[in-house]
Amino acid sequence: MLECIVTKFGGSSLANDEQFRKVRSILELEPTRRYLVPSAPGKRFASDDKVTDLLYACHALAAEGKPIQEPFGMIRERYLSIAQALHLKVDIESALNQVAEGIESGKNRDWCASRGEYLCGLLMADYLGWKFVDAAEGIRFHADGTLDDEKTQELLSALLADGQSAVVPGFYGALENGEVVTFSRGGSDITGALVSRAVNADVYENWTDVSGFLMADPRIVDGPSEISAITYKELRELSHMGASVLHEDAMFPVHQAGIPTNIRNTNKPYHPGTLITKNAPNEVSVPTITGIAGHKGYSVIYVEKNMMNSEVGFGRKVLSVLEEYGISFEHMPTGIDSMCVVVKSELLAPHREEIMARLEEMVRGSGSVAVNDNLSIIATVGRGMVRNCGTAARLFSAMSRARINVRMIDQGSSELSIIVGVNDSDFEATIRAIYHEFVG
Ligand code: ASP
């Protein structure tokens, strides 16, 4: 029997009064759903605006001393129409006026953006008859803008200790001096994870407008299968390579605390969605692969040097050059006298010449360096790979049948993923070939 569920609803789930009604009926279906983290109202239709974007626009206008009436009028209308349709009692007009005054009086960009969630939380708390807990009091940031994880856990658990059902707006927190700070875009997911950890939830339900993760990007593979179960480690690999439903940073607090995350669809409340767990579920048959994701636009820096293998510290020297320019590397397959460092081309571009000159200097007279661009990296991820032999053989045979040239291979030491590098022009064909080999 589940005792406590934290729910987070995304912007499209809160776009208008009809969506608010759906949210309430989802909560009524399961009384252990006792905490709710809202995003700001999102798009009602494709060409609509997200409230957060309108708030950023207001801030930009105010910063130039221009009137904010136009975008703020749209924001006002969004909240008032929800409040009126649902007959809410909360004085949202005054709250909206305070926000407008704040923006006009030069409040910082994060404060302005955070008001989308704040106002939405006020409406939702009134609609549900739940307590409103301002995230500025429960989520603490360090002065450098990073999350103060420990303090947040302490503050949030104290604020929610009375066990009363509560609405905690997503996306923001505050510095010790009370100044509001937001997470990066999509950050309400992180708030939901922090609230889940603070109340030691049994499940963190993240309600959105899709029924969970798909095995591959539907723009590349026709009607890909849904992923019903995945571990945090697998998801981390897929998210890093571009599978986006959940904010990457939302996984850490719940993963650490052993709380599963369930991605659910507000518009299909009976669909079980994707369940993300710390340990692999007890499955009768584990699918060999869980998902495929990838990105275009990488460069490979190739360094060759005689007797590289016996020169202690050479790899570190190469990486320290990249470090000096603030470039993180993605992969580093090595040979005896050569190494490749894979980096995002956009990060390399501004410093490319200086970096190459430095590396050339390091191998002068006994080696060479080169850069190759237009590399795509594709990760095929699956906890089932450990148990099934021949996975790599199948994957590479499928690629060879599709006449795709493999430019780089990196099998994760965890046996959780096989990473291949191909020409950007082969990106889509590679994903399709791998998908059809394993899924059909
Ligand atoms: N409203 C914010 C955004 O649009 C945060 C969120 O929705 O999670 O990014």
The full DSSP string for 98-116 is HHHHHHHTT--HHHHHHHH
**Residue of 52, 119, 139 to mutate, ligand 1, most atoms within 8 A of C-beta:** 52
* DSSP E strands, 160-250: 166-167, 172-174, 180-182, 203-208, 229-231
CB of 185 sitting under 6 A from ligand 1: yes
What's the gap in Å between 94 CA and the centre of ligand 1? 23
Separation CA 228–CA 215 (nearest Å): 10
**CA separation for the pair 190, 42 (Å, rounded):** 17
List C-alpha distances in Å: 241 to 67, 286, 417: 41, 22, 12
What angle is formed at CA 123 by the lines to CA 120 and CA 126, rounded to 5 degrees?
A: 145
Q: Which is nearest to 280 in space by CA: 238, 236, 245, 229?
A: 229
What six digits make up the tokens of 68? 């904010």
Task: Say yes or no: CB of residue 116 within 6 Å of ligand 1.
Answer: yes
Q: Determine the Cα–Cα distance for residues 364 and 354; give it in Å rounded to an integer.
A: 15
Q: Is the CB of 38 under 6 A from ligand 1?
A: no
Predicted pLDDT at 147: 98
Q: What's this model's pTM, rounded to 2 decimal places?
A: 0.89
pLDDT at site 170: 98
Instruction: Decide: 188 in ligand 1 pocket, CB within 6 A.
Output: yes
Q: Check if 114 has its Cβ closer than 6 Å to any atom of ligand 1.
A: no
Using most ligand atoms within 8 A of CB, pick from 171, 207, 263 the residue to mutate for ligand 1.
Answer: 171
Domains of the chain: 5-277 (3.40.1160.10), 291-438 (3.30.2130.10)
Q: CA–CA separation, 3 vs 107, rounded Å?
A: 40
CA 10 / ligand 1 centre spacing (Å): 8
**253 CB under 6 A from ligand 1?**
no
| Residues of the chain where predicted confidence (pLDDT) is lower than 70 | 1-2, 412-414
Report the nearest-CA residue for atom 5 of ligand 1: 186
52 lines ligand 1 (CB under 6 A): yes
State the closest ligand 1 atom to the C-alpha of 186, by its place in the atom list counted from 1: 8
The token pair that represents 412 in the structure block: 């994760």
Residue 35 DSSP SS3: strand
Q: Return the ligand 1 atom nearest residue 187 CA.
A: 8
Task: Please work out whether the CB of residue 261 comes within 6 Å of at least one atom of ligand 1.
Answer: no
Cα separations in angstroms, 213 against 21, 37, 239, 248, 432: 25, 21, 10, 14, 17
12 lines ligand 1 (CB under 6 A): no
The alpha carbon of 218 and the centre of ligand 1 are apart by a number of angstroms equal to 23
Give 152 Cα–ligand 1 centroid separation in angstroms: 20
User: What are 147-194's pLDDT values in tens digits?
Assistant: 999 999 999 999 999 999 999 999 999 999 999 999 999 999 999 999
Residue 55 CA to ligand 1 center (angstroms) comes to: 11
Ligand 1 centroid, distance to 208 Cα (angstroms): 12
Residue 40 CA: nearest ligand 1 atom is 1
Query: For residue 128, how far is its CA from the centre of ligand 1 (angstroms)?
Result: 22
Q: Which atom of ligand 1 is nearest to the CA of 184?
A: 9
CA of 56 to the centre of ligand 1 (A): 11
Check pocket membership of 184 for ligand 1, CB cut-off 6 A.
Answer: no
Residue 2 confidence (pLDDT): 61
